Amino acid sequence: MEITYKVSGMTCAGCSSTLQQKASKLKGVEHVSVYLLDGIMEMQVNDKFDEKELLTLVSKLGFTLHKEGRQGDIEEQAKEKKSILGYKQRFIISILFTIPLFYITMCHHHLKAPLPSFLHNANNYALAQLLFTIPILIVNYQFFIDGFKGLFTGNANMFSLITIGATSAIIYSLFIMFRINIYPDNVMQIVMEQLFFEAAGTVLTFVTLGKWLEERSKQKSSTEIEKLLKLMPEFVTVKDGESWVERKLSAVKVGDILLVKKGENIPADGEIISGYSFIDKAAITGESLPVEVNTGDKVSSASINTGNAFEMRVEKIGKETLLSKIIQMVKNAGRSKAPIENLVDKISAIFVPIILGLSTLTFVVWSLITAFTTGFSFATALNYAITILVISCPCALGLATPLAIMVGTGKGATLGILYKNAEAMQSFAKVDCILLDKTATITEGELKVKDVLIYDKNLSQNELLSIMASCESQLKHPLATCIMSYVAEQKIVLTSVENVAYEIGKGASFYYKGKKYFLGNRKLLEKLTLSIPQALQSLEEEGKTVVLLADEQKVLVGLSIMDTIKATSKDAILHCKNMGIEVAMLTGDNSRVAKVIAEQVGIEKVYSEVLPEDKLNIVKESKKYGKVVMVGDGINDAPALKEADIGVAIGNGTDIAIDSADIVLASGDLISLVDGIRLSIATSRNIKQNLFWAFVYNILAIPFAAGIFAWAGISLTPWMGALAMVLSDVFLVANVLRLNTFKGINKIKKKRKQ
């Protein structure tokens, strides 16, 4: 059983790692994943699971749990914006008091900036620092609540580090204020060198700035989801008897008739029952041009009506609509964990305790150093201990991977590339071989009858075609639809056939007026030991698919059917080959047809006349030599798609495609395949850069903060450490947001032409 919770109170990667680790040990929990960015915990549990135990654990760790994590996606977006506004207001208030505090301390002490005469008195000088610090402490009190809560519950987090550092600075500074009234000698020098009010104030201000920027980056990373959410209208026009009324979308039911006017978002999935128009599907497929639709066509909630008003019958609503599934798919991908995160989670879980230990050790060491050299200096030891606490950046470790995944998958959604999870995105960047299905993947998949050759004089052409179409009407093969459409255009009436028996990959046998007939391809006739007329063989050599009708003695009629190659297929395959990826084609068509298509798009390796089980075996064999991607329509190729390292469904985002593959190319364009690989490579590179920066920053920053290079005159103060921590986060976020500048190949080409 799957359960999803909303978790409040997590502040850094250590929080999410600790909760995940401890929750996984509860009785009845089979699997658990905790996602810091959106505060979600997903659990797989069995009958032994006791929710009370989970609630007790979460409460003990200092977090809050809600059974239904989402009170509506729109409300979540509003809550995020409110959080951002809160941090912004706190930062503005904090910086207004930090600037004068910083001036009278750092600027005066180091740059000899002038001070008003009344601050030349030590008590006034100390009191001024305290008065400027108090408002900063008040507006940022939540840091102390979260920090101490983490300490008291044994779940120390980033705010625990900040809280210990700021509290230590305030308490020691208050002690110094008391001391200067007892020991008045050199009081101004003591106040100058041993008060840490500015350290506490600037640290809290910079941390607030960091959290504000972090929350803004989270919101920007979910911008694409927000765009999708805006495609759902709040009100719709519903037919009530003979009149039209306006109702909330939530009140719409399956079977309702809706009126969709020009410029309106299509509110549900359904079928047009009256009218024709053009719909814009760019939000899902990335297509720039609207698509024409008419009565009988299907439309989805992921589109905008850009033409005439039309009436539609609702077939799917709520979570069952294409738009809802796409949104959920993008969300799941954004919050899923890439394999590389397992290492990061382990490090994050112990990061804060290690920093607390290092800070304590630094304080002890510097206490001893000063005691045996210049004389014991509590202020010096405290300075380095606090600096270590505030310069360490667990956020950089925690955000490095999930933020990049969220931005990458969101960007993919705008290009019609839908990743099901982070693992698929990471694996897509390492592909060695791509196996392409032919029909509806390399080609358009819109088959049309091109030639009709008659070889029987006893029956008329119309009767032969009627027999063929009557058999095809009982089959669900793509060729059947093509032949049925052709016969309908010729206004040929269907007849009655019996005992239709279909054989996968070959064709069917049936009875007409008591006589047995066969309808299928070359394989079926070869099984019957019937020869194929030379004219039909010539059509196959031209790349056309031939469907044959025969009795037990000879071929009676042959139809040639041709599919057109997609405009971008050749270009996409060339791009893949230029990236060093081997490309092969799989098709159930005969070798002649396959060869012609392959030559036209530049594919050398072709597997023709393969059945679904053959495709599966080819995938298995190919996996021995590298990472394999199988690209198909998500229906006939389902076994091969699931067996491949990465299954890619290409099409218009149908339910089956979404359910059967790791990645969906909603536009049905092979250029999206190339863009998907390029985007995965860019995202994987971004993650590696982020992790490298996060590790290197902490490895380099902590020794400097600990005063290891003080002998060379290089040392840091707490405010410098806090600024360095914020700049670390800013650097990481800026690097992640570069993914938003990623452009698909088609857009790059358009820009070059301009």
Q: SS3 of 101, please?
A: helix
Using the Cα atoms of residue 367, residue 166, residue 153 and residue 398 in order, give the sign of their dihedral: negative
* Distance in angstroms (rounded) separating the CA atoms of residues 405 and 413: 12
Which candidate in 280, 345, 437, 563 is catalytic? Answer: 437
Helices (H), 153-300: 158-182, 187-194, 197-221, 223-229, 282-285
| Residue 578, H or E segment | helix 569-578
Structure tokens belonging to residue 554: 């000879």
What are the backbone dihedrals phi and psi of residue 566, each rounded to the nearest 5 degrees, phi first? -65, 145
* Distance in angstroms (rounded) separating the CA atoms of residues 549 and 486: 16
Q: Is 437 a catalytic residue?
A: yes
Structure tokens belonging to residue 540: 């196959």
* Distance in angstroms (rounded) separating the CA atoms of residues 521 and 542: 16
Please list the residues that pair with 443 across neighbouring strands.
565
* Distance in angstroms (rounded) separating the CA atoms of residues 156 and 436: 51
**Would you say 104 and 127 are in contact if contact means Cβ atoms under 8 Å apart?**
no
Structure tokens belonging to residue 147: 């920090």
Nearest Cα to Cα of residue 88 among 215, 219, 226: 215
Using the Cα atoms of residue 537, residue 538, residue 541 and residue 542 in order, give the sign of their dihedral: negative
CA-CA-CA-CA torsion for 440, 442, 447, 453, nearest 10 degrees?
-140
b vs e for 269-291, b when ≥16 Cβ sit within 10 Å of the residue's Cβ?
A: bbebeebebbbbbbbbbbbeebb
**Would you say 286 and 416 are in contact if contact means Cβ atoms under 8 Å apart?**
yes
Nearest Cα to Cα of residue 645 among 423, 487, 447, 442: 423
What are the backbone dihedrals phi and psi of residue 306, each rounded to the nearest 5 degrees, phi first? -105, 0
CA 724 to chain centroid:
30
* Distance in angstroms (rounded) separating the CA atoms of residues 302 and 343: 38
By annotation, the residues acting in catalysis are 437
